[in-house]
Amino acid sequence: MALPTYTFDAIIIGAGGAGMRAALALAESGAQVALVSKVFPTRSHTVSAQGGITCALGNVHPDDWRWHMYDTVKGSDYIGDQDSIEYMCEVGPQVVYELEHMGLPFSRLDNGRIYQRPFGGQSKDFGGDQAARTCAAADRTGHALLHTLYQRNLAEKTNVFSEWFALDLVKAADGQGFAGVIAMNIESGEAVFLHARAIIFATGGAGRIYQSTTNALINTGDGIGMAIRAGLPVQDIEMWQFHPTGIAGAGVLVTEGCRGEGGYLINKNGERFMERYAPHAKDLASRDVVARAMSLELRGGNGYDINGVSCVKLKLDHLGAELINSRLPGIRELSITFAGVDPIREPIPVVPTCHYMMGGIPTNRFGQVINVDAKGKEEVLEGLYAVGECACVSVHGANRLGGNSLLDLVVFGRAAGLDVKEKIRDLPLKSVTEAELDAAMSRLNRWDNTREGESVSQIRFEMQKTMQEDFGVFRTGEHMQQGLDKLLQLQQRLNHAAFTDHSRVFNTSRIEALELDNLMATALATAHAALYRTESRGAHSREDFPKRDDAKWLTHTVYHGEGNRMSTRAVNMKPLHVKPFEPKERVY
């Protein structure tokens, strides 16, 4: 049966902040663009971002994008690529002004300028006093940003394929790159071939590899899975951020902006323990630092016990009702709903919770995907892009700073869109063979033709449990090896798993099965990379290798799906306009 084919100049997979910003960059190009999303665009996970978007506007105090760059390089524990970080921090203000011009309802200062609040890891003058650099729309910045981008796309009449699920990349007939993707219309259940000159992956994160995560249920690493199956590498995938303040039990995020506004963490003795761990920045130290401090407090028996869950608490009541209601209204709502606690009166129970994937598909600062072959030879793949959380450009390195993810989305979504716009006439529409189409359809066919087997939910549960237990805030080689062995068995079981409902129309179990393939690929890559990096850096904290080892590991790790092989790749230490920031000891 021939597969229906739709042809476009460019297809964008994912309609979160990165995908929708890329679509806008292409809107006036005259190119035929399809924005493909497995959920209606405003259901994308960008909507859950709270605290803000960081850039040096200097609205609260004199500021400089180079200071932001310094903080980001330091925050990355020196494995962020300095050319990309430089580009992001330098262009940041312009990109945020564009969002404002599009209508994003930022909170305001008395002089009418965009409100900026302090966030973790921010400094003035290269490591000096705390800065206030994160632009905010109350504590709903992601919602405001995502809706604004969707609204702009409505105005520009972007062609949105809403509730379409991308299955796999299709290789070009000549073996040079990719000709398009197979995607499924979820409502009808039918698969089609989307044929395009340019493909932009903006598929977001994969926090659902863990049991407890701030991530939406849709964050299943679809781009990571597709890349690995297509033979592409993923980079620094061992680097998972645990956000200090997920609501205990529920996993729902409480923004770092709470601490930016003056909130702080306490243990069961009422002690503001961050003063011991980070005497200078205290509660506004980097997220990896705060998450480790919390874990040590819990381990030392200093946690509260809430229904059997050990946690610390985030104290806000001293800030007063007026500030909480104006600056943190969403947090108050979430806290009342999910913790049964009104932060105006009582502190919120919180635990470090899986939040963000620093690693991803390696790209340059234009969003172009970089292939790395078995011998370490690098090649830019013309026509294939990755932006946002699924990409590793790499601006976050081993630890992302708060407020830098929304910036990453719009800066690199825009950059990729502009790059495609410039090149679209020169990019060929590559021909395909039936064999390559069949290969990309094989996964769906496998699931559709399996009538009996273990359930998707059982395997997913065991995978999430393994990741939670063996690849958390603190890691050891022994436990990770056990975890990896378990994952390899689970992968075998997954190859024979089945769902029972084989109808076509809006069959969400079919989608969940396809998503689990992607989650498993991401989990396995994480496990291999985490065992490979025998040091502690940023979010990757090994008890058997507690020190940072710059002589050996001031480098990206690269995972190759074929044979589960690992290699390294040099970090870019060559910014274009400033002197490089040399690695030094990271103290907050």
Active site residues: 287
| Three-state DSSP class for residue 178 | strand
Q: Residues 276, 280, 282, 288: is their CA dihedral positive or negative?
A: negative
Q: Near other proteins by CB under 8 A, which window of 35-43, 230-238, 387-395, 517-525?
A: 35-43
Beta bridge partners of 117: 134
Q: Which two tokens stand for residue 11?
A: 């297809």
Beta bridge partners of 39: none
**Tally of CB atoms within 10 A around 500:** 9
**Tally of CB atoms within 10 A around 262:** 15
**Tally of CB atoms within 10 A around 301:** 9
| Site residues (CB under 8 A) for other proteins, limited to 449-468 | 455-457
Shortest spacing between CB 388 and other proteins, in angstroms: 16
Element housing 223 (H / E):
helix 222-229
Q: Is 42 in the site for other proteins (CB under 8 A)?
A: yes
Task: Decide whether 253 or 525 has the Cβ nearer to other proteins.
Answer: 253
Give the end-to-end CA distance of the chain in Å, rounded to a whole number: 61
Q: Is 506 in the site for other proteins (CB under 8 A)?
A: yes
| Three-state DSSP class for residue 146 | helix
Q: Is 366 in the site for other proteins (CB under 8 A)?
A: no
Contact 463, 523 (CB under 8 A): yes
Q: Is 496 in the site for other proteins (CB under 8 A)?
A: no
Report how many helices (DSSP H) and strands (DSSP E) the chain contains, helices first.
Answer: 16, 23
Q: Is 111 in the site for other proteins (CB under 8 A)?
A: yes
Q: Is 28 in the site for other proteins (CB under 8 A)?
A: no
Shortest spacing between CB 390 and other proteins, in angstroms: 17
Q: Which of 31, 79, 144, 372 binds other proteins (CB under 8 A)?
A: 144
Task: Decide whether 42 or 123 has the Cβ nearer to other proteins.
Answer: 42
| Site residues (CB under 8 A) for other proteins, limited to 57-86 | 57
Q: What is the CA radius of gyration of the chain?
A: 23
Instruction: Round to whole Å and give the CA distance between 513 and 495.
Output: 11
Shortest spacing between CB 105 and other proteins, in angstroms: 5
Instruction: Round to whole Å and give the CA distance between 343 and 519.
Output: 35
Q: Is 579 in the site for other proteins (CB under 8 A)?
A: no
Beta bridge partners of 350: 247, 312
Task: Decide whether 216 or 369 has the Cβ nearer to other proteins.
Answer: 216
| Three-state DSSP class for residue 537 | strand
* Cα 563–chain centre separation: 26
Q: Near other proteins by CB under 8 A, which window of 62-70, 83-91, 149-157, 487-495?
A: 149-157
Q: Is 534 in the site for other proteins (CB under 8 A)?
A: no
Task: Decide whether 112 or 128 has the Cβ nearer to other proteins.
Answer: 112
Q: Which of 29, 468, 509, 567 binds other proteins (CB under 8 A)?
A: 509
Q: Which of 505, 562, 582, 585 binds other proteins (CB under 8 A)?
A: 505
Q: Which of 7, 32, 48, 433 binds other proteins (CB under 8 A)?
A: 48
Site residues for other proteins per CB under 8 A: 39-40, 42-45, 47-48, 57, 97, 100-103, 105-114, 137, 140, 143-144, 147, 151-152, 154-155, 187, 216-218, 250, 252-253, 330, 333-334, 337-338, 455-457, 499-501, 503-509, 512
